[in-house]
Amino acid sequence: MQGPPVSVIYMKVGVRRLKLFRVLNGEDVNKIHELSLSLLQNLGVKIFSKKALDILEGAGADVDQHKLLAKIPEHLVEEAVRKAPRSIDLYSRNPKLDLHLDGEHIFNITDGVATQVIDFDSGRRRPGRKDDLCKAAQIVDFLDYINAIFTPVTPQDTPLHSHMLHEFEAVLNNTEKHYCAGAVDDSREIPYLLEMVAAVVGGEEEIRRRPIMSACTCLVNPLIIPREGIEPHLELAKYNVPISIVSMPILGATAPITVAGSILLGNALILAGLTILELANPGTPVMYGSYPLSQDMKGGGHSGATPEALLVIAGHNQMGKFYGLPIYSGGTTTASKLPDAQSAYEKALGGLFSAMTGADIGAGGIGILENYNTLCFEQMLIDYEIVTMVMKLLEGVEMGNEALALDAILRVGCEGHYLTDRHTLSHFREVWEPMISDTKSYDAWLKSGGRSVAEVARGRMEKILKSHVPVPLDKDIRERLSEIVRRADKELARGEAVD
């Protein structure tokens, strides 16, 4: 497939120079680890998958097939952690956009699987459609610092039994970047999904060499592994597809109300999922993921943007680093229903905190409102502004001779200026540049229309959707993907539910 010229700069990667911020000391980390092993060995995990139970039983775990309970010995967990890769490659259909998770760089990915969308024309909240996902993928393709796409909206106008395939088709046709499937919950879809990947990469063996997708499994607190949370991923792991194992404790509801208790419970659950995957397919690339929420004990709602939820993320990021695993971390989320001040401060604090505590790939809710429930296109660009600022902050302060600018300081002296100095001319392109933020004077802002940041974002978004054309797949591949999805629509509709 012929792509753009090599001279094109495809994307930007965050370089983390700042020292990681820690919320746990060494003793705390060891305590969480030891207690997690104890919980798995003595309390066990409820597993609604005979395949997973059989894998554990075959490896020597104490399994009660009747109660669906598995008690996992410490040595099995520790062996599984040793088998998991320390770095992971996330491949893209354009190899220039491949991501290498090595602990030193930070990448960004969308998030969500929202069911609702704030309509771009009417401004009203409505069910999401496949076309919304196509637009979101087109926007992700345009934004340099968004390095991959996780399904931001689940179309409500596609068959439920094949919706994941429709999502993959929409993404493949609108971005060259890596795709993380966020709702791989039906094993019946896996053969069609692999057929789609093979159509793009050039065959089944190429999937194992360069899987252009990953998958995310959200396990259930407290200590439950559902069938749909493990069986499809066992199949994908056979093809070297990276799996993000995510815990979503709700503090005070499905997990202890204390931060430490939720860190412990979530860590144990992630280790259980990792153990099953590594026992079944040693060397499976696994990411350590955390998406906590905090229960509002007065109003009954919940939010992923509270201080407690962010502290759980920080603790889980630190535990993932302790195990040497790449970190797939939530953070850029909000409970707000609109692109307003609440969404801005919640997303900014969460995104920065996640990045500063060790995320290798920040799974932020780019454009997502209402706790992962609603996609807002204007919010995508507002969040992108936050992302670029966070990436700049992570670079820290360079202290080399050129950065200290002593020669320039001596040259300019006491009464000069730096605007036309050669040092400024050599480095001004390194300065952070806003996409939608306004830095003009009040009079200049008023003269240019006096628009809010949401209005500016809307105008910029309209231009992107009209002008940016992602590099398309070859026509025969597009037709092949469409044929696979149509066939799945019909064949899965006739099939029975997975046993």
Coil vs helix vs strand at 73? coil
Tally of helices (H runs) and strands (E runs) in the chain: 18, 22
Q: Which DSSP letter does residue 400 get?
A: S
Instruction: Give domain status of residue 129, yes or no.
Output: yes
User: Looking at the DSSP assignment, which residues form a beta bridge with residue 293?
Assistant: 250
185 domain-assigned: yes
Residues 420 and 365 in one domain: no
Residue 26: φ, ψ to 5°: -60, -40
113 and 260 in a single domain? The answer is yes
Domain-terminating residue out of 394, 421, 455: 394
* Residues whose CB falls within 8 Å of the CB of residue 294, separated by 6 or more in sequence, listed in order: 250, 251, 252, 302, 303, 304, 306, 308, 309
Q: What are phi and psi of 361, to 5 degrees?
A: -135, 115
Q: Does one domain contain both 369 and 221?
A: yes
Task: List the chain pLDDT tens, one digit each, 499 residues.
Answer: 333 333 333 456 777 778 899 999 999 999 999 999 999 999 999 999 999 999 999 999 999 999 999 999 999 999 999 999 999 999 999 999 999 999 888 999 998 889 999 998 899 999 999 999 999 999 999 999 999 999 999 999 999 999 999 999 999 999 999 999 987 889 999 999 999 999 999 999 999 999 999 999 999 999 999 999 999 999 999 999 999 999 999 999 999 999 999 999 999 999 999 999 999 999 999 999 999 999 888 888 888 899 999 999 999 999 999 999 999 998 889 999 999 999 999 999 999 999 999 999 987 789 999 998 999 999 999 999 999 999 999 989 999 999 999 999 999 999 999 999 999 999 999 999 999 999 999 999 999 999 999 999 999 999 999 999 999 999 999 999 999 999 999 999 987 444 4
Q: Is residue 492 part of a domain?
A: no
Which of 369, 394, 419 corresponds to the end of one domain?
A: 394
Domain total in the chain: 2
| Residues 407 and 334 reside in one and the same domain | no
Give the list of residues 6+ apart from residue 398 with CB closer than 8 angstroms, or none.
17
d(CA 279, CA 224): 18
Determine phi and psi for 495, rounding to 5 degrees.
-80, 170
Contact criterion met (CB below 8 Å) for 72 and 324? no
Q: How far apart are CA 229 and CA 270, in angstroms?
A: 12
- In this prediction, residue 161 carries a pLDDT of 93
Tokens of 151: 């399904």
Residue 369 and residue 327 in one domain:
yes
How confident is the model at residue 413, as a pLDDT? Answer: 95
Same domain for 378 and 405: no
Q: Kindly report the CA angle at 427 between 422 and 428, in degrees rounded to 5? A: 100
Domain of residue 310, CATH code: 3.20.20.480
φ/ψ region of 46 (left if φ > 0, alpha if ψ in -120 to 50, else beta) reads beta
The C-alpha R_g of the chain, in whole angstroms, comes to: 23
Task: Tell me whether residue 379 is in a domain.
Answer: yes
Residue 385 within any structural domain of the chain: yes
CA atoms of 443 and 219, how far apart (whole Å): 53
Same domain (yes/no): 329, 368: yes
Residue 473 maps to a domain: no
The span from the CA of 487 to the CA of 191, in Å, is: 12
Type of residue found at 491: E
74 in any annotated domain:
no
Whether residues 294 and 407 share a domain: the answer is no
- Whether 140 and 232 share a structural domain: yes
Question: Residue 254: inside a domain, yes or no?
Answer: yes
Burial class (CB in 10 A: 0-12, 13-18, 19+), 494: exposed
Beta bridge partners of 106: 14
Q: What is the pLDDT of residue 439?
A: 94
User: Assign residue 163 a region: left if phi > 0, alpha if psi is -120 to 50, beta otherwise?
Assistant: alpha
- 367 φ/ψ sector (left φ>0, alpha ψ -120 to 50, else beta): left
Q: Are residues 406 and 389 in the same domain?
A: no
Shared domain check, 164 and 289: yes
In angstroms, the CA 29 to CA 23 distance is: 10
Give φ, ψ of 356 to 5 degrees: -80, -10
Same domain, 290 and 425: no
Task: Collapse the DSSP code of 160 into the 3-class scheme (helix H, G, I; strand E, B; otherwise coil) and give the result.
Answer: helix
Structure pTM? 0.93
Classify burial at 48, counting beta carbons within 10 Å of its beta carbon; exposed 0-12, middle 13-18, buried 19 or more: middle
Q: Which residue range(s) make up the domain with 318?
A: 82-394
